[in-house]
């Protein structure tokens, strides 16, 4: 029985992970081919016995084989069955190893997909300013289920807009002309408020989040800056799907990776709004879900609705960016409009449990 031949995975151009899976699948294919070969061998032995006994056509031979002939034929069949049984045990081990390993790969991939799904909107808890170590209350708007480290995460948003000075006009800023969140004025405003490093964007010292704020001990890194819908896009699907997810259960400290961020169009529409539209008349207004509607009304009650709130998602051209209006509508606004900035954070949900930790 010749061994099956398969393509060398090093010549396929696959990355290492896919090459390993490719090899494992080939192992399973080789098991199937060897099983097929064994079945042919067993079938041949059966035909040999039929020929000796003269039962190929359902009739016995005129000259029946003697005892010695039957003994030798039976011994040959037994030897073949022993060899097949040994091969079968080897193939079972080979198949079990390959199947278990492949299952592990796909389980990890399912885990990654599960960890990357958008989180669940919630009728969230309020984190008082005294418990946050900030000058404003924060409100929970979504929750992410336990990760591999056993942590639950909450998406929280500041109820008061960032105060960038003494006058009321210092609450307002344009989005900027870059049509790219990482180059926008709201992004730099949030970084200036959150980061304590000397390289942080300028922000009035008395208005920054305090270095010892309790929030910092629970804040975790997230994908907000790299999520779809955080930079220039060719269509609105990326904006609508721009959900961030938390990762790295250790506190983020002063990591300069966009730990504090503005909500995306998708996040505001799903978690914190009364209605949504994207392209005006060509995109009819749609009512938001009950949880998002209730969340917005609770959140807006925490401050005077002075102006639109900037979101991180760009618009469908250079002159627009996404925003959350004072009535809860998620839509596009001119990048030169004045708007306020409400930072959001992914935190470990245990922040709500004990204000002494």
Q: What is the pLDDT of residues 129-149, one digit of tens each?
A: 999 999 999 999 999 876 666
Greater model confidence, 68 or 173: 173
CA distance 39 to 330: 65
Out of 165-169, 243-247, 318-322, 332-336, pick the least confident: 165-169
Task: Give the per-residue pLDDT at 108.
Answer: 41
Residues 94 and 156 in one domain: no
Residues 168 and 200 in one domain: yes
Residues 207 and 318 in one domain: yes
Residues 204 and 302 in one domain: yes
When pLDDT is cut at 50, 70 and 90, the band that residue 118 belongs to is low
Greater model confidence, 342 or 26: 342
Residues 47 and 66 in one domain: yes
Residues 131 and 110 in one domain: no
Contact 149, 249 (CB under 8 A): yes
Domain boundary among 67, 83, 115: 115
- Asked if residue 348 belongs to a domain, the reply is yes
- What is the mean pLDDT of the segment spanning 325-350? 91
- Asked if residue 136 belongs to a domain, the reply is yes
Task: Give the per-residue pLDDT at 117.
Answer: 52
Domain boundary among 70, 97, 115: 115
Share of the chain above pLDDT 70, in %: 69
Tell me the three state secondary structure of residue 193. helix
Residues pairing with 297 in the sheet: none
Residues 142 and 273 in one domain: yes
- Asked if residue 120 belongs to a domain, the reply is no
- Asked if residue 357 belongs to a domain, the reply is no
CA distance 151 to 98: 32
- Asked if residue 4 belongs to a domain, the reply is no
Classify strands 153-158 and 138-144 as parallel, antiparallel or unpaired.
antiparallel
Mean pLDDT (the chain) is: 77
Contact 26, 6 (CB under 8 A): yes
Q: Based on the structure, what is the number of domains in the chain?
A: 2
Q: Is the pLDDT of residue 321 over 80?
A: yes
Q: Is the pLDDT of residue 45 over 60?
A: yes
Greater model confidence, 86 or 60: 86
pTM above 0.85, yes or no: no
pLDDT (tens digit per residue) in 186-222: 999 999 999 887 777 888 878 889 988 999 989 988 8
Residues 180 and 292 in one domain: yes
- Asked if residue 296 belongs to a domain, the reply is yes
Q: Is the pLDDT of residue 122 over 80?
A: yes
CA distance 220 to 101: 32
Greater model confidence, 320 or 281: 320
Q: Is the pLDDT of residue 298 over 70?
A: yes
Task: Give the per-residue pLDDT at 107.
Answer: 44
Domain containing 73: what range?
9-115
Close Cβ partners of 249 (under 8 Å, ≥ 6 residues apart): 147, 149, 151, 220, 348
- What is the mean pLDDT of the segment spanning 278-307? 76
**Residue 285 φ then ψ, to 5°:** -65, 135
Domain boundary among 115, 142, 157: 115
Q: Is the pLDDT of residue 256 over 70?
A: no
Residues 298 and 213 in one domain: yes
Task: Give the per-residue pLDDT at 19.
Answer: 63
Residues 302 and 340 in one domain: yes
Angle 253-255-256 from CA coordinates, rounded to 5°: 145
- Asked if residue 3 belongs to a domain, the reply is no
- What is the mean pLDDT of the segment spanning 237-244? 72
Q: Is the pLDDT of residue 13 over 60?
A: no
pLDDT (tens digit per residue) in 87-107: 777 777 777 766 666 555 544
Residues 130 and 105 in one domain: no
Greater model confidence, 297 or 168: 297
- Asked if residue 217 belongs to a domain, the reply is yes
Tell me the three state secondary structure of residue 140. strand
CA distance 108 to 105: 5
Residues 136 and 111 in one domain: no
Greater model confidence, 234 or 219: 219
Tell me the three state secondary structure of residue 145. coil
CB atoms within 10 A of CB 116: 12
CA distance 91 to 4: 13
When pLDDT is cut at 50, 70 and 90, the band that residue 113 belongs to is very low
Task: Give the per-residue pLDDT at 114.
Answer: 36
When pLDDT is cut at 50, 70 and 90, the band that residue 128 belongs to is very high
């Amino acid at each position: 029985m010749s061994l099956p031949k398969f393509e060398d995975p090093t010549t396929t151009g696959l990355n290492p992970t896919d090459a390993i899976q490719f090899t494992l699948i080939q192992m399973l294919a080789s098991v199937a081919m060897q099983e097929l070969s064994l079945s042919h061998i067993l079938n041949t032995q059966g035909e040999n016995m039929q020929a000796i006994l003269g039962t190929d056509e359902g009739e016995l031979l005129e000259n029946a084989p003697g005892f010695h002939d039957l003994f030798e034929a039976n011994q040959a069949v037994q030897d073949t069955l022993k060899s097949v049984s040994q091969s079968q045990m080897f193939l079972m081990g080979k198949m079990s190893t390959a199947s278990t390993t492949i299952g592990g790969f796909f389980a990890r991939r399912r885990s990654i997909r599960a960890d990357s799904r958008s989180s669940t909107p919630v009728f969230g808890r309020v984190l008082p300013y005294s418990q946050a170590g900030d000058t404003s209350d924060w409100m929970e708007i979504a929750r992410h289920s336990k990760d591999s480290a056993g942590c639950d995460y909450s998406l929280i948003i500041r109820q008061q807009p960032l105060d960038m000075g003494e006058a009321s006009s210092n609450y307002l800023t344009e989005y900027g002309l870059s049509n790219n969140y990482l180059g926008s004025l709201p992004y730099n405003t949030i970084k200036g408020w959150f980061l304590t490093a000397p390289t942080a964007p300028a922000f009035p010292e008395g208005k920054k989040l305090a270095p010892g704020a309790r929030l910092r001990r629970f804040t975790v890194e997230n994908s907000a800056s790299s999520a779809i819908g955080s930079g220039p896009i060719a269509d609105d699907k990326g904006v609508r799907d721009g959900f961030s997810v938390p990762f790295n259960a250790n506190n983020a400290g002063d990591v300069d990776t966009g730990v504090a961020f503005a909500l995306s169009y998708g996040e505001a529409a799903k978690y914190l709004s009364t209605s949504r539209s994207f392209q005006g008349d060509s995109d009819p207004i749609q009512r938001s879900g009950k949880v998002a509607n209730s969340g917005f009304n609770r959140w807006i009650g925490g401050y005077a609705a002075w102006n639109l709130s900037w979101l991180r998602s760009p618009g469908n051209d250079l002159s627009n960016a996404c925003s959350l209006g004072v009535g809860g509508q998620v839509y596009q606004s001119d990048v030169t409009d004045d708007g306020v900035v409400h930072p959001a954070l992914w935190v470990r949900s245990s922040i709500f449990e004990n204000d002494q930790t």
